[in-house]
Chains A and B, each alone.
Chain A
Amino acid sequence: MPQTPPVVDIVQASQAAITAILNKIETVVLGKPKECRLALACLLAQGHLLIEDLPGMGKTTLAHVLATTLGLTYQRTQFTNDLLPADIVGFSIFDQATNRFELHKGPIFNQVVLADEINRASPKTQSALLEAMAEQQVSIDGITHELPRPFFVIATQNPLFHAGTYPLPESQLDRFMMRLSLGFPDIKAEKQILLTSSQRTNQKTADNQAAVVSQDELIAMQDAVSQISVSNDVLEYIIALSHVSRRAYSSHTSQVNNSGETAAEISCKPLSPRASKALLQAAKAMAFIDNRDYILPDDVQAVFYVVCQHRLEMQANQQLDPSQQESTSVARQILNSVDVLNPLGY
């Protein structure tokens, strides 16, 4: 029986690859190292990624470069309001030559599915992604088809208040491990974008870039991520965070019941166990990227906003600047209310 190498070794062995991937992404998405790391963490944690921002902020570029760098099959689907579920998952068509129904696979059968402007499609079409995202399989005409592994959905969306957008159903929002916002680049980065963009149009650099890691390497890294060790303290920290949200939710609702006044400091939806799981998984990936085989509360804090904010907020934040959004967000309030050293308050 072949002995699997300990996680520490895989972590260390993968460091070179990870640095390479990050470098490559950062050359395309300029001035956003933090977001790049989070996006990579999301993919390593086998979660789906939702990128929300204004048009023209580099959402698609990030999605694109992620797919190509990891060497995965990739297809982009532009979501519009007349898009039908069959356009995504595929359909059976009668072939007169063979007298049989033949399956025309939709774009979902790629390893990376880029759902561009997902919230412009109707909720029905959005829901077509549900099964694929949760179960990694699709059913067409009653036949279940396995999807390739690894499988990611990277979706981009415009902020909700934009014209012609449908809000994503909560169930679907919950299936995205992270929701990222890129935000405006700083002066230096923007200058560089302006400089490089004129050269790049002809060269199509991003498309031509060869993959940095093979699929097998990627799968090995994903397995290593799930094996990262978690201490009891970190588990309690995660539990404490989700409990704060649940307590805030229940006290909020009961107060509404009684006197019609809302006096709760934090008003949010409660975090589900799926959210806690996603939080743990994402934190593991962050530890992995950080060259550690164990999670620190730092990892949890680093991913908490992107993993939980879209599950917590009662209504979409309309603040444009993501940095401002974060500092005033519910997620930040919850983080601030839990003692890191003694999360359950013994």
Chain B
Amino acid sequence: MMLFKKKKKQLSKGTSGNVNSKTRSNFYLSRQNTWLLWLCQCLNIAVVAMELSTWMLTIIALSLAWQALLLQQNSDRATTSRGKHPGTVQSNLANKRHSHGLSKQLTTNVSPVVLGIFALLGCVAIALTAKQVGILLSMVHLLCFSYALKGFELRTRRDFYQLLLLGLFILASALIFRQDLAFSLIIFSLLILNLTVLLQFFSSEKAFATNLKVVVVLLGQSALLAMVLFLVFPRLSPFWQVPFAKSAETGLSDTVKPGDIANLTRSTKLAFRADFGTQKVPDYAQLYWRAIVLENYDGRQWRRQNKVTTNNTAARSIIFDASNTEVLPLTYQVFVEASFQKYLFALAPAVVTGNTSGITAQTDYTIQSSTIISQAKSYRLTSYLTAPLALELSPQSRQINLSYPQGSNPRLEQLALQLQHNYVDVQARAQAVLTLINQQNYSYTLQPPLLINNSLDQFFFDSQAGFCVHYASAFTFLMRASGIPARLVTGYLGGEYNGVTAEVNSAGKIVNKGHLSIYQYDAHAWSEIWVAGKGWLRIDPTGAVDPQRVNIGWSNQLLQEQAELNNSFFSLYRMKNITWLNTLRLQFDALDYQWTRWVIGFTSQQQYDLLKHWFGKMVPWKLALIIAVTLVLSMLMLMLLLHWLNRPKVKKQTFAQWQIIYHKAIDRLAKQGIEKPLAMTVNDFAKKIRQQCPELAIVFTRLSASYNRLCYQTLSISEQEKQAVTMQQQYHHFIQVLKNSDKKHL
């Protein structure tokens, strides 16, 4: 390290001396910084790696590896040549040159022509795949590609800037795809690292840690301004809105075949959160979050019936028509993560209570977003958990919910006929099926055996092992075949209660009871059958085979299975069994919840509401005024802060009495047009006064002499006091003379 620093110093001396190489040698990076830059490149690419296609990732990885190789070669060469001739000045000089071009040689090895052809080919490839991956992703591809290639031509300072800027841009674009707290923190720390590389370039003589600290402090300071702007700066679409990413859909889909949801349950990704405020969180078994109702069955898979959407008031009327006044409403807030789908989640039957824009209610009591959810979103709902669903069933709807392809599952059809014969009561018939499932040797597993043609027969009679969709499908099929209108519903069941966010205000009143986090592995499927006079009844055949799943949540056996499938060390199973880790996880979940709620969820609407809350009714000119004033104020604050930070940092010294008097005197003289230069001594100034205004000569010389004695001579205290009094008199005398001379001049 020492050697390194020394070399750098010599290096810079060499550059200043040599005029010839000045333009060339303006740019150089230390070895440490070159490697840091390379590391930054790798990490920056890594954050968007999930979005890039494999071929692009391969190209980028190869480029970066090549760059690393070149770097390694260069530094090797530098060290070997230093080793060969240790002593002589000449070779040392040569070394300097050599290490000087450390980063530049990286480029000279790859000819621009090759690079150009390579870049062109890459662009063509991106353009060809653009249709497939969408405009946003192909732009990200292009960005990453150029970022990787730019590393090859690091010749001038400008190239360095470009590379860094591209890196920052990539970091920003990574936030399009994910915005949760952990990821944002990663992006922020990468931003710090990138900026440190930049700072390291400018103050290379300082240690990395020092520069890092500077960057952190600077970012901390600018965070204040960012916060103000975050609150008041208008979110004008489309300029300041995150572009929609057409990313892989996560979560449920509108076609379901047996075995589908089992895959989803391997994901520990967050689906949504629900906040019940001060109300009691319903029992686990009540938390059936409905998302999609699937009514069309073609023998292989379940499909969603295209529904006519109704407006919210209509939905309200549907529910209120049916519900009596005794049903208790339950109001809660739901925060969904980006799913790139339209489905929203609700405990049926629900009415959207808050801001209803962009949310439509369906006649099957599900709700949908009018646009694809590409960003975290929140909405407020009121559910009437015990209220019946749809007491009336239209003939058309009845027909759909009874239809099944004849002969698709003959054994089940036969069983259904038998059931229909044995049990006249609809609910008894359903109960009989559940009993059957419960009593026979059925098992609930995440790894169901494969079914030929998704045959429900095979599942129900042969393998007898399956996941929720298997049971729900088979059950619904049996119901339909036995003449009961039935349909499949997918959504989520339960959720993890997190009490970390629970708040109790100063009065001891509970403000918040914590929130529920619902993860992808909570995905579930169940059935609904229509019973006259009771409407659609929820029946979950899973409860018959694995009651724990329905009442508490995942059983340990399931968790273990999941851990095996995911093959990861930090699986949920292990997490839940280690108490402190689990607490930590819950803590982080709570933090992430607040982040989603207050930062990500701060949309233009919320901004508007907040401003309205602060400043009353909003009119455009008022809004503009507020923004302008805030901007100006924050800039002023920043200026003042800067001013304050740049103030000379010395301790305050109290001036002695005579110093104050003398300063007053020279201030008076300055008003007369006679300035005392800083470096002029008291005696010299007195001399100048004698020459310039003779009438002041005597008084001012005396005053100066007193000042000199008081300031510079060692006097006893009594002498000092005496002299100070004398000086005071001299000062008054001086002022008098000054005034008199003024009058004369006038």
Contact = CB atoms under 8 A, between A and B. Distances in A.
Nearest to A337: B679
Contact of A260 (B16, B653, B662, B713): B16
Contacts of A233: 711-712
Given A260-B16, A296-B683, A341-B662, A336 B714 contact: no
Given A233-B712, A260-B22, A294-B713, A339 B678 contact: yes
A36 interface: no
A298 B662 contact: no
B713 A229 contact: yes
A73 B682 CA distance: 41
Interface string A318-346: 00000000000000000111111100111
B271 to A, nearest CB: 53
Q: Which of B12, B682, B683 has most chain A Cβ within 10 Å?
A: B12
B203 A231 contact: no
B369 interface: no
A303 interface: no
A262 B13 CA distance: 11
A317 interface: no
Contact of B714 (A261, A294, A337, A338): A294
B609 interface: no
A257 B12 contact: yes
A338 B678 contact: yes
Given A295-B712, A296-B712, A258 B203 contact: yes
Given A338-B678, A339-B679, A298 B684 contact: yes
Report the contact-size class of chain A (Cβ under 8 Å from the partner): 20 to 34
Contacts of B682: 296-298, 340-341
B26 A340 contact: no
Given A297-B682, A298-B683, A256 B12 contact: yes
Interface residues of B, number: 34
B678 A231 contact: no
A24 to B, nearest CB: 27
Given A233-B711, A260-B12, A294-B712, A346 B678 contact: no
Given A260-B26, A295-B712, A298-B681, A345 B650 contact: yes
Contacts of B26: 259-260
Contacts of A254: 205
A254 B22 CA distance: 18
Contacts of B659: 341
Contacts of A346: 650-653
A317 B224 CA distance: 53
B12 A231 contact: no
Contacts of B8: 257
Contacts of A336: 677-679
Contacts of A261: 16
Contact of B16 (A262, A297, A335, A337): A262
Interface string A256-279: 111111100000000000000000
A267 to B, nearest CB: 13
Nearest to B25: A260
Contact of A341 (B16, B204, B663, B683): B663
A340 B681 contact: yes
Contacts of A89: none
B680 interface: yes
B25 to A, nearest CB: 8
B679 A344 contact: no
B588 interface: no
B630 interface: no
Contact of A345 (B205, B648, B684, B708): B648
Nearest to B711: A233
Interface in B1-60: 8-9, 12-13, 15-16, 22, 25-26
A293 B652 CA distance: 30
A251 interface: no
A115 to B, nearest CB: 34
A41 to B, nearest CB: 17
B598 interface: no
A149 B708 CA distance: 35
A259 B16 CA distance: 8
A85 to B, nearest CB: 29
A42 interface: no
Contacts of A295: 712
A231 B203 CA distance: 41
Interface string B528-548: 000000000000000000000
B679 A229 contact: no
Nearest to B201: A258
A231 B662 contact: no
Interface string A207-243: 0000000000000000000000101011000000000
B305 to A, nearest CB: 71
8 contacts: A257-B205, A260-B22, A261-B16, A340-B680, A341-B659, A341-B662, A341-B682, A346-B650
Interface of A: 229, 231, 233-234, 254, 256-262, 293-298, 301, 335-341, 344-346
Interface of B: 8-9, 12-13, 15-16, 22, 25-26, 202-205, 648, 650-653, 659, 662-663, 677-684, 708, 711-714
Given A233-B712, A260-B25, A294-B712, 13 more contacts: A256-B16, A257-B205, A297-B682, A298-B684, A301-B679, A301-B681, A336-B678, A338-B679, A340-B678, A340-B681, A341-B663, A346-B650, A346-B651
